[in-house]
Structure 1
């Protein structure tokens, strides 16, 4: 990804810095990560990187199309690499587990919205609900008396 990063930065008149490389690598290694999680990963290698550098760099990387973000909670956005296949995020409201599903899982919805002239940003899509494990646990737990 470094060659792609370097090329895209040069096209925008920006420099390839070690911090930008570390931050992109952290996103790729973590899979789905908040800026604070990216910062912790980067600081495990270089302690001098500050939070504002991470936030600014994530914005630049997103503008370059190298990372995307979605909102998987009411906290900070979660970033992931665009080298992953396009996917939909499913979040359990009870245990907060996040699963990724292939974009085909929402193809009928995308088609219906597309027929109405709306283009869906699949990578930004997050569906909230309850996972099978939490549903089973809730069903097996007697109601309070």
Structure 2
């Protein structure tokens, strides 16, 4: 995709993309730590710029799973709803169809189309809830 847009596939871009895919859901700092395992000279600003570029061309996407930095994941995955445990920090995913009823109601009542790729629910996972 990079080459199709007249961009080069640099080693740094490749490392950032691989880190996002390997980590599943990762903040820029987590991506930077993963990249630094292989290329210690890559700085955090390069990671941020690369993530923005990769998102612009549709290879990664981001969501906000906390009050901090955005979390990136592969854009080639099917859209999903994020379930974030406030106890252990685990991130789980469910199919968008879990929100079909809510989505339809929002569309009917408000004319609002829900972007499930950016929906996150916060709570406690089964383990942390004691169940």
Which residue of 2 is the match for residue 107 of structure 1?
100
| 3-state SS of paired residue (2:39) | coil
For 1:87 and 1:46, the matched residues in 2 are separated by 31
Aligned to 2:114: 120
Q: 5+ unaligned residues in a row in structure 1: which ranges?
A: 138-145
> For the Cα contact (< 8 Å) 2:2–2:8, is it kept in 1?
no
Q: CA deviation at 1:5?
A: 3.5
Normalising by structure 2, we get a TM-score of 0.89
**8 Å contact from structure 1 (residues 72, 126) kept in 2:** yes
1:6 aligns with 2:3: yes
**Contact 2:19/2:35 (8 A) holds in 1:** yes
Deviation at 1:38, TM superposition (A): 0.6
CA positional deviation for 1:114: 2.5
Give the drift of 1:56. Answer: 0.8
Aligned equivalents of 1:28 and 1:5: distance in 2? 17
The farther-off stretch of 69-78 and 111-120 is 111-120
2: distance between equivalents of 1:30 and 1:135?
25
Instruction: Look at both structures and tell me which one has the larger radius of gyration over its CA atoms.
Output: 1
| TM-score normalized with structure 1 length | 0.82
Could you list the runs of 5+ residues in structure 2 that have no partner in the other structure? Answer: none
Deviation at 1:117, TM superposition (A): 2.0
Asked if the contact 1:93/1:129 (under 8 Å) is kept, the reply is: yes
Q: 1:68–1:124: 8 Å Cα contact kept in structure 2?
A: no
